[in-house]
Amino acid sequence: MAASASMPISPAAAQPALAEHRIVRIEGRVMQDRYPRTVGRNAKLNSHGRGGSPRIRILETDQGVVGWAMANVDDSATQKFIGARVGDLFDAEAGTADEAMPLDKPLHDLAARILGAPVYALLGAKGPREVPVYSGAIYLDDLDPENNPRGIPAVIDCCRQDYDLGYRAFKLKIGRGFKWMPRPEGIQRDVDVTRAVRARFPDCRILVDANDGYTPDDFRGYVRAAADCDLYVIEEPFPEEREALLRLKETMEQAGCKALIADGEARKEAGGASAAEGEAKPTTRYGGYTREHMDRLYALAAEKLVHVFVIDLDIVGFTRWRRVMPELAAAGVQASPHAWACTARTYYTAQLAAGAGNVNIVEGIPGAIEGVDYSAYRFKDGNLVMPGAPGFGLELKR
C-alpha cells in the first residue's frame, strides 16, 4: 500500500496492512555517531566529544520489510516480540502498544515502511513539510584548548561550519561564569559571543541556552546587554521559578527583548527514565517526567512565563509525544523536544514536528551515524525539508 508523501495515512486503511506482517528478526547493534568536530563544554559539563554510541534495533517481517531506529534497551526487553504480529504491537492511530514500548521508534519506522509512507504521514501530517531547525552544536569552544584558548573566533568557526551545512539558526551555549570563568568575565564573554554571532550572521536566528547556569539577577543583566541581538529563544536561564521568571519578563519588556522562554528539560525529581537518551518507562503520561514537574511547567505556561517545553524526545517517548502534543497545544504552549546528543534524534524529532505539529523549531545535531545514509534530508532556507522516503527516512547502508 503506497501513500503520497503529502497525505496523512488513514488509520482504518492502515491497520489491516500492519496485521499482515509478523516480526521474524530483531537485531541489536551498537553504532558510532560522528559529529563534524569535537563539541566543547556547556555551562556545567566538560567536553561533549565527537559522538556517542547509540544502540539500534532492526526489525524484519515475514514479508521482508525492514525497519530500524534507536532503542536503548536490553535484548531481554525485545526478543520476546519475535513472532508477534506488527498490528498487535502497533496501532496506526495510537502508536506503540504499552508492552512494546522498548521498540517504540523501530516500530514507527517499520509500520511506516509497511505502509510505504513517511512517519510524519502516519502521524497525521499536521505540521509543516519544511521544519525549522537550529544547530544545537555551538558550545563553549572559545575556552579550548585549555592551555591556549581560541576565544570567540572558535565559536564563530562552529557557526560558519554549520551555516555551510545549511543551518540558519544557532543555539549558543552560555553560562561561562557558572564555573569556567570568574562570574563577571563569564557573563561579559557570553554577551560578547552573542553580539559577535549576531554581527557575523545577520540572516540567522539566535537561541541561547544557559543550562540553568545563571542566577536570576545575573541573567537579567545578560538580557539587558544583549537586548539588541534579537534573541529568538532563551532556554533554561536559571532553575525555573515563578518570581524569578516574572522579574525576567519585566526586564525583557523594558529592554525590548521578545525571545520565547523555553524550559523543562532538567527534571526536578527522579522520573522513570534512567538516562537522557534512554527509553522512558511509562510512569506518567509524560514518560519519565513526573506529574509534579509537568504541573509546574503548565502553571508557568499559563502565566506566559514559559512558552516552549524542551522536555526530551525519549524521556517522554515517541508514542507519548503523539498523545500529549494536543495537551500542549491546548495550553498555548509549543514544543521543541530536547534531542541532543545523537544525530538521528534530530530526524525523529523533525518527523514528529511534521506529523504532530506544534513544534516551533527542532534541535539539529550536525553529523551522522556511521553506516547510515541521511541524504534523503536537505536544507532549504534553514528549514529541514521532509523527504517522501518511507519510515524515518534514514537508511542503513549495510
104/265 with CB nearer Mg ion: 265
Stretch that binds Mg ion, among 98-106, 197-205, 209-217, 220-228 (CB under 5 A): 209-217
- Rounded Cα distance between 25 and 57, Å, is 10
109/265 with CB nearer Mg ion: 265
Stretch that binds Mg ion, among 96-104, 207-215, 349-357, 379-387 (CB under 5 A): 207-215
Footprint on residues 163-192 left by Mg ion (CB under 5 A): none
265/279 with CB nearer Mg ion: 265
240/265 with CB nearer Mg ion: 265
Cell of 48: 561533549
Footprint on residues 329-388 left by Mg ion (CB under 5 A): none
- Rounded Cα distance between 95 and 73, Å, is 19
- Rounded Cα distance between 265 and 289, Å, is 9
**Closest approach of Mg ion to the CB of residue 137, in Å:** 12
Footprint on residues 25-84 left by Mg ion (CB under 5 A): none
Position with the least CB separation from Mg ion: 209
Stretch that binds Mg ion, among 113-121, 202-210, 221-229, 301-309 (CB under 5 A): 202-210
- Cβ(73)–Cβ(83) under 8 Å? no
- Site for Mg ion contains 209 (CB under 5 A): yes
264/387 with CB nearer Mg ion: 264
**Closest approach of Mg ion to the CB of residue 35, in Å:** 17
**Closest approach of Mg ion to the CB of residue 46, in Å:** 16
**Closest approach of Mg ion to the CB of residue 237, in Å:** 11
**Closest approach of Mg ion to the CB of residue 338, in Å:** 6
33/209 with CB nearer Mg ion: 209
**Closest approach of Mg ion to the CB of residue 168, in Å:** 20
Backbone angles phi, psi at 316, to 5 degrees: -70, -55
**Closest approach of Mg ion to the CB of residue 205, in Å:** 16
44/281 with CB nearer Mg ion: 44
Q: How many residues bind Mg ion (CB under 5 A)?
A: 2
**Closest approach of Mg ion to the CB of residue 265, in Å:** 5
226/308 with CB nearer Mg ion: 308
171/220 with CB nearer Mg ion: 171
**Closest approach of Mg ion to the CB of residue 34, in Å:** 22
Stretch that binds Mg ion, among 135-143, 206-214, 356-364, 370-378 (CB under 5 A): 206-214
Footprint on residues 244-273 left by Mg ion (CB under 5 A): 265
Which value, to the nearest 10 degrees, does the dihedral of the CA atoms of residues 121, 126, 131, 134 take? Answer: -120
- The residues of the shown chain that bind Mg ion, judged by CB under 5 A, are 209, 265
